[in-house]
Amino acid sequence: MKESDSSPEIGQIVSINKGRDTGQFAIVIQLIDERFVFIADGDKRKFDRPKKKNIQHLQCYDYISPEVRSSMLDTGKVTNGKLRWALGKFMEDVIWKL
């Protein structure tokens, strides 16, 4: 799985490179501006309390969860269960195959 060169998109899986959550995965749930996004993982970082992160502190993967993306675009929110499921599917499909 290669890194994405473009700016993050809603539903995109990211790896956190700086801060106390270094090494963990999350999903972009909102774009704030060209430098910052809100991320959540549905477990430690719930949808209703997302983390604001500088995109320079994230590694973006070429993997966008269609379920999370469509839910966010349709209703403006996503369940924590769906976030956890999408991260689990990403781990199963991508990380464990490396």
Which tens digits make up the pLDDT trace of 14-38? 999 999 999 999 999 999 999 999 9
The confidence score (pLDDT) of residue 2 equals 58
Sequence-ordered strand ranges (E) for the chain:
12-16, 25-31, 36-40, 51-54, 58-64
CATH of domain 12-97: 2.30.30.30
CB atoms < 10 A from the CB of 80, how many?
A: 15
**Confidence label for 5 from pLDDT (cuts 50, 70 and 90):** low
Strand partners, 28: 39
The overall average pLDDT reported for the chain is 92
